[in-house]
Chain A
Amino acid sequence: MEFQVIGKILQRKDGVAKVCGQETYASDVVVPHMLYGVTLRSPYPHAQVLRVDTSAAEAMGAVCVTPDAPCIPNLIYNERTVSIPEKTYCDRRVLPLRARHVGEAIVGVAAETEELAFKAMQAVKVEYKVLPAVLDLDEAMAEGAQALYDNIYLGDQKLTVKNNVACERIITVGDPEAAFAGADYIAEQEYELPRVYHHQMETKTAVCRPDPNGGITVWATTQTIHNIRILLGRIYGLPLSKVNVKKLAIGGSFGSSIQMNSIIPICVALALKAKRPVKMASSREDDLHSHTKFPARIKLKIGVKKDGRVVAADMLAQVDIGAHQINAFPLLGCMAGWYASLYKWGDFRFEGRTIYTNKVPACAMQGYGNPQVNFAVESLMDLIATECGFDPIEFRLKNYVGIGDEFWGQGPSVKSIIKSCGVEEMLQKGAELIGWADRRPHEEKTGRYRRGIGVARGFHTSGTGGPKPGEVVDYSSATVKINEDGTVDVMTPVMDLGGGTGEAAVKVAAEVLNVPYDRVDLSLVDTKTTGYDVCTHATRGVYCGCGAVYHVARQVKQKLFEYAGRILEELPRDLELEYDAKKDVTIVYVRGFKQKNITIDEVARLAQIYSWGTIAATDSLRQKNCPPCFVAHFLEVEVDTWTGVVRVPRAVLLSDTGTPINPDMVAGQLIGSLSRGLGYALYEETEHDRETGRLKCNGFITDDKIPTTCEMPRLDDIQVYFAHTYEPTGPFGAKGIGEAALNSVASALNNSLYNAIGIRFYRIPITPERVLAALEGSGRDGN
């Protein structure tokens, strides 16, 4: 399909501001007369807060908020409000009466300068009653284990927590037991995936200004301005008309700010108490102590027939979620969904359990359980292919969930039928690009450096919409307006996390209205000037957020035709829109009689002069599908068998994102995800010390390394390929890409390692120590 701006590589709208240092992030917000806020954090993994003495800090001029202060509402909530209330587990207070992990904020302190705030914070005395800490998943579930919670809430319903099990989900489809009995071969393995820090470059920040009308204005690091507005209104009893949250640039996120970051309500409490603006910027150490990726322990069993058909599967997933539930329940649903939607298992079962421990709370991080599930499934599928003598690519092609099949976009309650799918094209093209046909078995490889090639495939959902509303809220709003000179403003509450959602919104409006890209701009907006959008999560920015822009821009086009029809004395339905590149104008013309036309600049100008009104529209849209965006990864690895160091000399990254609206940014997502996937597979882990409960890296980046320029393949050694698909339900055929891009990286790497050294790993990160131990071990088993 030929487009005017969709699919063209154009300079991103915020690009100039970003390269000039002029873009405003929450950490750059300065409000006159503001105080600086800091938090005092628990040194203990588990301790009752008995007494807090802030007198010395207050004597220094500081303002303090403590867990027992009357200004801290006694409301138990969940900082993530994406799910519907009756499916939201709540266990958190603005400031806790009991510290449940090292680094949990206990007291908020604000003062005239950052230095004074820190000094005052050090003068706060907290008396704790130290409780036994639970720092191991199995110990947490054992009879008689120390409980983190007596009660939590599911919506308004009070629940008793047993054996620290936060929530669970068991889903059975068909009769897996009977199906396993009929299988010719059964493979079973247990996989372990680590806690990993998001490592977004900007630390979480909040600025709150109390307003003279009794309300507040908030600038914060977030993926959702509207959910912050609603939750802050609820916590502090403020009318939503008096809570305004500003949309800003965000310095990376990767899921870390789907929920309202824990410091935001603390900052608000300080500002309301001080009656002055307060800015609270997390230190990197604080940030590392606030959230982590969901770890997982996954036991997977797959049954296959001799002819290579999978017939049964069983997955047990246990997730150590740390001290709070952020989105543990929807996580389990999604993990079930990712697993159910990878291959046509026939009869299968999923059992998922999330467990409280005294660790940093886990939340979504790019993929939301998908990289974890994908690692287990794609590693085990590869093992089965080897054991049964199937070609790994043929085996996948025989069993994947594709066109016409049911896709569980968000667990068992949000499903849709797949209408576009590039899996076959990607696997065939990837095989060709990597040189699959020349792949040699690991037995033939000797010497110090050994190379191997492997494949894995995956997907993610595009949004959480389904034919019927499910457990998750999903819709977006937009406003589009044609200015009096024919230029266009787009107002969208959808956060651009850096991936180019903003450009996509502009391109969609430009394409609908046939206006050049440089005549469409994004407006600075906030929650008071936009309709609701749930959140930039679930790879929904383009499909849902820009879907709303598409929906609204078409209404604007209709209004434009009405006004043009009045001027031309023609019926709106007889009019067409076209960009005349020669004259560089967009014209409205009469179908079949192009000579009769008027430029949209003229229509807009006359509409204003004649007092007809602004050519604008505002509306919301809920997408009724959640199409999967598919990916495939073909990686080549090189193992130094002397040191255990693994390198990736070559990568072929393939995606089926429907129409790539911003091809350069889609490539950027794929390559960026390759680096995050390599970090996940090879280096990163933020585990806690089993004795002290402290993070082993102590909150330092240096001790939790992420990939640098030098760990990535060379420019010529990364190939990116887009499948030729068109999603009929997406704006101009587009689906998402963000999270999908990561989901099969670690799995592909694991499978290439087997091809290099004949060892399968069941636990990541696959550090040099683990590689060496496996190479030296007699079992040739990388567990």
Chain B
Amino acid sequence: MESQWLKLRVNGKERQLFVRPNALLLNVLRDELGLMGAKYGCGLGECAACTVLVNGRNMLACLILAVTMEGAEITTVEGMGDYDRLHPLQQSFLDNGAVQCGFCTPGMLLTAQALLEKNPDPSEEEIRDYLRGNLCRCTGYAAIVQAVKEVKHPA
């Protein structure tokens, strides 16, 4: 299998990568770009720890062949905010005790961001329904749901 050139934007930066056709987006992000925020939890689309935004939509990076991302705009958790400029959702997760082991956190944050893009003021049911594919074993989800509900939108 011949590697091929791939051009895409990751967290606002244009990237050109030489990838094998069977390379998964998750592995390219982690191994080629050093973006470790997207996590491997199952590799089969069962847990959503690998969630990234592809053109604003939450998608599972473990199920996407990198070569299909030509021209796409990818956002990983590293692109959401930085330690001195946290995204309101990241701040809300911290304020509401929504982080325990933290392994599901990046995927949760990006899924929640996708929800808020579509529906800036979701009800608790809508939040629960939207996040149901993102598994968390630590928190029992309450603090996470609360964090999404109470996010303070930037003025």
Contacts and interface: CB of A to CB of B under 8 A. Distances in A.
A28 interface: yes
Interface stretch (B2-10, B53-61, B64-72, B103-111): B103-111
Interface in B22-80: 22, 27, 30, 34-44, 46-47, 49, 76-78, 80
B131 interface: yes
A30 B36 CA distance: 10
A284 B133 contact: no
A748 B74 CA distance: 46
A712 B137 contact: no
B140 A712 contact: yes
Interface in A191-230: 198-203
A284 B39 contact: no
Contact of A708 (B95, B105, B109, B133): B133
Given A11-B94, A284-B46, A715-B142, A251 B135 contact: no
The number of chain B residues touching the other chain, given as a range, is: 35 or more
A51 interface: no
B117 interface: no
A498 interface: yes
B90 A671 contact: no
Nearest to A673: B140
Interface in A75-134: 114-115
Interface residues of A, number: 61
Contacts of A11: 94-95
Contacts of B94: 11-12, 15-16, 19
Contacts of B78: 20-22
B151 interface: no
Nearest to B83: A16
Most chain B CB within 10 A, of A16, A19, A249, A674, is at A19
Contacts of B103: 25, 200-202, 251-252
Nearest to B125: A714
Contacts of B27: 114
Contacts of A15: 93-94, 99
Nearest to B81: A20
The SS class assigned to the B binding surface is loop
Contacts of A28: 30, 36
B41 to A, nearest CB: 5
Given A201-B49, A709-B132, A20 B77 contact: yes
B97 interface: yes
A676 B38 CA distance: 24
A428 B53 CA distance: 48
Contact of A676 (B77, B106, B137): B137
A166 B152 CA distance: 56
Interface string B124-146: 10011101111111111111111
Contacts of A674: 140
Contact of A664 (B43, B86, B97): B97
A21 B35 contact: yes
B43 to A, nearest CB: 6
B98 to A, nearest CB: 8
Nearest to B46: A701
A673 B140 CA distance: 7
Most chain A CB within 10 A, of B30, B47, B99, is at B99
B142 A718 contact: yes
Contact of B137 (A284, A706, A709): A706
A30 B97 CA distance: 29
Nearest to B147: A19
A23 B99 CA distance: 12
Contacts of A18: 99, 102, 105
A671 B46 CA distance: 23
Contacts of A114: 27
A497 interface: yes
A250 interface: yes
A424 interface: no
B100 interface: yes
A524 to B, nearest CB: 16
A706 to B, nearest CB: 6
B101 interface: yes
B138 A19 contact: no
B46 A672 contact: no
A609 interface: no
Given A201-B101, A284-B43, A712-B140, A20 B83 contact: yes
A249 B102 contact: yes
Contact of B100 (A20, A498, A712, A715): A498
Contact of A19 (B109, B131, B137): B109
A746 interface: no
Contacts of B46: 284, 700-702
Contacts of A281: 40
B133 A251 contact: no
Nearest to A671: B140
A251 B101 contact: yes
B101 A203 contact: no
B120 to A, nearest CB: 19
B127 A709 contact: yes
A22 B102 CA distance: 10
A461 interface: no
Given A19-B77, A21-B106, A284-B42, A497 B83 contact: no
Contacts of A667: 97, 143
B123 to A, nearest CB: 10
Nearest to A20: B83
A774 B117 CA distance: 46
Interface in A272-326: 281, 283-284
Contacts of A707: 140
A283 B132 contact: no
B53 to A, nearest CB: 13
Interface in A626-684: 664-665, 667-668, 671-676
Contacts of A19: 77, 81, 86, 90, 93-94, 99, 102, 105-106, 109
A499 B124 CA distance: 25
Interface string A313-356: 00000000000000000000000000000000000000000000
A164 interface: no
24 contacts: A12-B94, A19-B109, A20-B80, A20-B86, A21-B77, A23-B102, A24-B36, A27-B40, A199-B137, A201-B103, A202-B103, A251-B101, A284-B42, A498-B100, A668-B100, A672-B100, A672-B139, A672-B140, A700-B44, A709-B134, A709-B144, A709-B145, A710-B128, A712-B142
Given A19-B99, A21-B35, A250-B101, 17 more contacts: A11-B95, A16-B83, A19-B105, A19-B106, A20-B77, A25-B103, A27-B40, A251-B101, A253-B101, A664-B97, A668-B97, A668-B139, A672-B100, A701-B135, A708-B141, A714-B124, A715-B145
